[in-house]
Amino acid sequence: MKDLRVIAAACVTALCASLVSVSVIAQTKKSSAPTKASSGLAQPSKDYVFRSTVRRVPVDVVVLDKKGNPVLGLKKEDFVIQEDGKKQNILSFDVFNGVTPSFIPPKIPALPPNTFVDLPKEAERGPLYVLYYDMVNTAQEDQMSFRAELLKFVDHAPAGTRIALFVNAKGLHMIQGFTTDHALLREAILRKGPPPSIPDVFLFGENFGRYDAGGALSNLNFMAEYLSGLPDRKNLIWLASYHPIPVGPTVVGIDTTTPSSPVVSGSVGGMGGPSTLDLSELLSDAIKQTYASMMRSRVALYPVSLSGVSGSDDVRVKGGADAIVDRQNLDTIAASTGGHAFYGNNRSSELIDNAISHGESYYTLSYSPQNSNFDGSERNIHVALADQSKKYELTYRTVYYALSDEAIQAQHTKQVTQQNFLAAKEADTLFATAEHGAPMMHDVLFVAHLRTAGEPRMASTEEMRSLEDSPAFFKTRKRNKDPKPLAPVKLLQYVIDYDVIDPQLRALASAKQKSTVLEFAAAAYNNDGTMLNSILNQGALSGEGNKDGKADHRFHATQELQVPPGAAFIRLVVRNTLNDRTGALEVKLPLKPQTETAAK
């Protein structure tokens, strides 16, 4: 990451100039109407399919010493990796040190109103963290005590950690996207009102799938798919009293008659029916799909028990007195994904702290399996140190499913929009970075000023046609019936002025002897994260400098986005197509009141 720090430092002077004069000259090709939208940036082609020409299995390895501190300084030759007992050739090796900052932003002056820059307020550190508060599977007494513990964790979370917050209550909702601003997390936790918000107590867990393994797998799969396309490891911290998924991704599960029972072969149900009912066939596909999604997205699962030292009353009443078995199950679930389970402490904020620190530093290995038959079979991974005299603790994904491209694509055969979007994310990283709540990116530094133009107006027939495939309107279309024209809605035009600052833009164009093409993407989302509309434009930058011979490190562009009612966020992405470097940020609406000067 050192090159990013150097680039950011070199951009400070140009950035200050941009903040002084943020009105810009349009240099992009504008569309007369918004581009069609789907569950991502622009409408993914229906021809998108998963195609992996060279299959690699990524394995993140956390190495700790006897005191629980990360072991740094290991090299590729220090590791030995096996699949199903056969040694594999390590093709790539990388080190991620989460103890030190991965990105240090330069100091910048105060920004004018409605002006934003893709730089965090403080140095970033560690991987991406998802806090998943599963209220459906949390006992009422645990809910009543946990809110204070969650706020305590947020108030003392390590500075610079990028955290997103999801809640499962009357459906799965993103409460807060990835941010290093922990004050935003506190605000999101305390926010009242309709979803997305966290209720003080959720009383209807049994009505919404408590102990349901299928529902739990579905939520984990959804979050893994959401995180796909984003780089590096993600640690998903599952906060609940019960974690009702099969013990590992094998067709071996938990006795479904009680919440706490020893492993029973051939019963993978989630604590909801008799153990004599073999649910393996019903859930085997969901198990494979979910664990395969977590592997592809590099998601490590960290189950955190909110039941305290003695367990919740609900668990004890149902006969789950054997806390040792409960904890063994959690350990097995976590190990299969490369994570770690934490339990046995009434101060759940401390458990979350431990989960954050455990996976902050790791090594990433990858290999191409000698068994190239991707037939959906279970593959077991074993990682060890070449020098076995070193008594370190290694945590890594112990198993994965070798699903074919066709099997992956077939997961959403009845959800065409989601199927196309996931395939598009696989083919193009732009779709992942344009998602609501995705982390800020700053490989390309840019300043953006947003303003509205005029009053809301009724959309034309052509503009309504362009909205037909966006998720907010797509779900209103009835299957197997000829689509009727959508009822017109009012559109509000947002004008986005970009100032891209990068000393390498023209140098790269000159070195490659062709124009640098920048992509500008803007997407509007409602409060629950459904995309309303989006647009993608391109602008070309030659390698020539200014007429006075001085290098120009700035590129100006203007973009217009027609936004339907209900918009709560606008996400902006700038990407250099020559090297795939990307900058991204998200703006919360409404904008601040515009002065006459700002509107000019």
pLDDT digit string (tens) for 173-199? 999 999 999 999 999 999 987 778 999
Residue 148 CB burial class (10 angstroms; 0-12, 13-18, ≥19): exposed
Shared domain check, 216 and 312: yes
Does pLDDT of 50 surpass 60?
Answer: no
Distance, C-alpha 289 to centroid of its chain = 18
Question: Is 462 a domain residue?
Answer: yes
Shared domain check, 256 and 223: yes
SS3 string, 370-408, reads: CCCCCCCCEEEEEEEECCCCCCCEEECCCEEECCCHHHH
What is the rounded CA–CA span in Å between residue 358 and residue 340?
Answer: 8
Of 360, 387, 420, the one marking the end of a domain is: 360
pLDDT of residue 362: 97
User: What beta strand segments (E) does 543-581 contain?
Assistant: 554-563, 567-576
| Phi (first) and psi of residue 398, to 5 degrees | -95, -10
Confidence of residue 281 (pLDDT cuts 50, 70, 90): low
Question: Is 353 a domain residue?
Answer: yes
pLDDT of residue 452: 96
pLDDT of residue 1: 35
DSSP bridge partners of 103: 124
Shared domain check, 187 and 334: yes
Shared domain check, 274 and 191: yes
- Residue pair 541/505 in contact (Cβ under 8 Å)? The answer is yes
Shared domain check, 152 and 291: yes
Question: Is 545 a domain residue?
Answer: yes
Question: Is 581 a domain residue?
Answer: yes
- What CATH number is given to the structural domain containing 297? 3.40.50.410
Per-residue pLDDT reduced to its tens digit, 206-244: 888 898 989 999 999 999 999 998 999 999 999 999 998
pLDDT of residue 420: 65
- Which contacts qualify for 259-268: CB closer than 8 Å, 24 or more apart? 259/211, 259/314, 259/315, 259/318, 259/319, 259/320, 259/326, 260/311, 260/315, 260/319, 260/320, 260/321, 260/322, 260/323, 260/325, 260/326, 261/320, 261/322, 261/325, 262/325, 263/329, 268/213
Mean pLDDT of 489-497: 94
Angle value at C-alpha 58, between 521 and 263, nearest 5 degrees: 115
Shared domain check, 183 and 135: yes
Question: Is 424 a domain residue?
Answer: no
Does pLDDT of 329 surpass 60?
Answer: yes
Shared domain check, 206 and 352: yes
What is the rounded CA–CA span in Å between residue 600 and residue 598?
Answer: 6
Q: Which residue has the higher pLDDT, 541 or 367?
A: 367
Of 360, 395, 422, the one marking the end of a domain is: 360
Q: Please report the DSSP string for 268-329 in residue order.
A: ---SSS-TTS--HHHHHHHHHHHHHHHHHTTEEEEEEE-STTT--HHHHHTT---HHHHHHH
DSSP bridge partners of 263: 254
- Residue pair 178/163 in contact (Cβ under 8 Å)? The answer is yes
Residue 231 CB burial class (10 angstroms; 0-12, 13-18, ≥19): middle
Q: Which residue has the higher pLDDT, 375 or 275?
A: 375
Does pLDDT of 555 surpass 90?
Answer: no
Mean pLDDT of 151-160: 95
Helix residue ranges per DSSP H, 157-205: 182-190
Does pLDDT of 355 surpass 60?
Answer: yes
pLDDT of residue 310: 60
Q: Which residue has the higher pLDDT, 561 or 319?
A: 561
Sign of CA dihedral 468, 227, 343, 323: positive
- Residue pair 141/163 in contact (Cβ under 8 Å)? The answer is no
Distance, C-alpha 467 to centroid of its chain = 25
DSSP bridge partners of 62: 395
Mean pLDDT of 286-294: 89
Distance, C-alpha 187 to centroid of its chain = 20
pLDDT of residue 473: 59
Range of the domain at 289: 125-360
Mean pLDDT of 519-528: 93
Shared domain check, 542 and 477: yes
Q: Which residue has the higher pLDDT, 100 or 193?
A: 100
Residue 543: CB partners within 8 Å, gap ≥ 6? 506, 507, 509, 510, 511, 513, 515, 516
Does pLDDT of 512 surpass 90?
Answer: no
pLDDT of residue 416: 54
Question: Is 142 a domain residue?
Answer: yes
Shared domain check, 392 and 292: no
Confidence of residue 367 (pLDDT cuts 50, 70, 90): very high
What is the rounded CA–CA span in Å between residue 211 and residue 148?
Answer: 25
Of 340, 360, 380, the one marking the end of a domain is: 360
| Phi (first) and psi of residue 406, to 5 degrees | -65, -40
pLDDT of residue 550: 58
Shared domain check, 354 and 338: yes
Does pLDDT of 76 surpass 80?
Answer: yes
pLDDT of residue 548: 57
What percent of the chain is predicted at pLDDT more than 70?
70
Mean pLDDT of 166-179: 95
Residue 342 DSSP symbol: B
Question: Is 488 a domain residue?
Answer: yes
Residue 217: CB partners within 8 Å, gap ≥ 6? 245, 283, 286, 287, 289, 290
Kindly state the helix (H) or strand (E) to which residue 8 belongs, with its residue range: helix 2-10
Q: What is the CA radius of gyration of the chain?
A: 25
pLDDT of residue 368: 94
CA distances to 117, 196, 210, 396, 585 from 438, in Å? 16, 17, 29, 25, 9
Mean pLDDT estimate for the chain: 79
Angle value at C-alpha 107, between 104 and 113, nearest 5 degrees: 120
Confidence of residue 288 (pLDDT cuts 50, 70, 90): confident
DSSP bridge partners of 526: 567
Question: Could you give the strand order of the β-sheet that contains 234-240, starting from the edge strand earlier in sequence?
Answer: 172-179, 161-168, 125-134, 234-240, 299-305
Give the count of domains, the chain.
3
If we measure between CA atoms, which residue out of 226, 8, 35 comes closest to residue 105?
A: 8
Shared domain check, 305 and 270: yes
pLDDT of residue 464: 80
Shared domain check, 129 and 85: no
Question: Is 485 a domain residue?
Answer: yes
Joined together, the tokens standing for residue 259 give 């919440």
What percent of the chain is predicted at pLDDT more than 90?
50
Most confident listed range (48-57, 215-224, 274-283, 528-537): 215-224
Does pLDDT of 14 surpass 50?
Answer: no
Residue 159: CB partners within 8 Å, gap ≥ 6? 122, 123, 125, 180
Confidence of residue 396 (pLDDT cuts 50, 70, 90): very high
Confidence of residue 510 (pLDDT cuts 50, 70, 90): low
pLDDT of residue 196: 87
